[in-house]
Amino acid sequence: MSKYFKNRILDYCFWGITGIIVLVIFFLYNLPMETAGYLLAFFACVLSVRECVKALRYSRRLQAVEEVAFEKEVSCEGFPEAAGAIEKLYQEMYCTVFYERMELASKQDSQISSMIDYYTIWMHQIKTPIAAMHLLLQNEETANAKELEQELFRIESYVEMVLQYLRMNSETTDYHFASYSLGDIVKTAVKKYAGSFIRKKIHMDYKEIRQNVLTDEKWLAFVIEQLISNSLKYTKNGTVSIWAEQENDLLYLNIRDTGTGIIPEDLPRIFEKGYTGYNGRKDQKSTGIGLFLCKQILNQLSHTISIRSEIDKGTTVTLGFTLKNRLME
């Protein structure tokens, strides 16, 4: 209601000046000042009642408009009846913009949906020639065949990354939460990259993990595979170590490598979409999508991720799990 009175300050000043002029006229013409006082008091009472009623109506109308403007699902319905031609014009302008925006959003959603469908089909189709090439290379024992096998494995990993990216942004993401052995998930991921460990002559130091965690097995496996892939990418020689630590109802999975490390300036931004950092620009093979995907997926799974790193000493990635069944509460 205070907003209404603030907007009417100029009107009140005008009425006040008018009252002063009336008093001056009565004084100059030697008219009874008592009559002027009664007259001004009467008009003041009438104007006060009128302004209070208008202020109350204004407050109610403002509240109705705010409810429409700040509701979660914005629409063009629910506005109070326009009090004048200008307000009606504003409402019509708002509704015009609203419907144009809805139409544009619908077109964009349709285009995005078509694009996702196309790439999903494309990725399923490309898996067939990839599988065929794997079969052809199995019978080859040459050095070139082994190199081709590794490059083909990288292509397959990139295709899987794109597929997971599309699934993550889909409205029908198939999360399935259950209790899984964290050790089994890690072992499967390590086994997938066994050839890369052997080819690069990098030692794997794995300490047995016996705890179960409440998670989605497929999505968590994808995250761990991405982290192992990063360790292999930036480690020329040395060791990749994987172990778990438990503190009360919290479990931490650590993946540490002895690679090039990450410069301190890059650490705050490594989870940003498309950010490659110094190592990525130097390597010219980084997409800046892997860690972004990992972060987004772990947020959906209610897990945490943190990274510590030192240049030329290596990087440690830590995933945090809650052993208590909080997701089911």
Q: How far is CA 140 from CA 144, 146, 152, 194, in A?
A: 9, 8, 14, 19
List, as one string, the DSSP characters of 256-310.
EE-S----TTTGGGTTSTT--HHHHHHHS---S-HHHHHHHHHHHTT-EEEEEEE
What's the CA gap between 40 and 20, in Å, rounded? Answer: 10
CA atoms 188, 194, 196, 200: torsion sign: positive
pLDDT of residue 329: 39
pLDDT of residue 327: 41
pLDDT of residue 287: 67
- 324 CB-side CA count, 13 A: 6
Total Cβ atoms within 10 A of residue 128: 9
Spell out a b/e string for 254-272, using b for 16 or more CB atoms within 10 Å of the CB, else e. Answer: ebbbbbbbbeeebeeebbe
pLDDT of residue 328: 41
pLDDT of residue 217: 93
What's the CA gap between 322 and 299, in Å, rounded? Answer: 13
Among residues 262, 247, 250, the alpha carbon closest in space to that of 317 is found at 262
Low-confidence ranges of the chain (pLDDT < 50): 326-329
* 321 beta partners: 251
What's the CA gap between 311 and 149, in Å, rounded? Answer: 31
Tokens for 104? 């544009």
pLDDT of residue 75: 65
pLDDT digits (tens, 9 = 90+) for 213-235: 999 999 999 999 999 999 998 89
Q: Which helix (H) or strand (E) holds 177?
A: none
pTM: 0.63
C-beta separation of 54 from 12 below 8 A? no
Q: Which helix (H) or strand (E) holds 186?
A: helix 182-192
What's the CA gap between 14 and 16, in Å, rounded? Answer: 5
DSSP code at position 239? E
SS3 of residue 176 by DSSP: coil
What's the CA gap between 23 and 35, in Å, rounded? Answer: 10
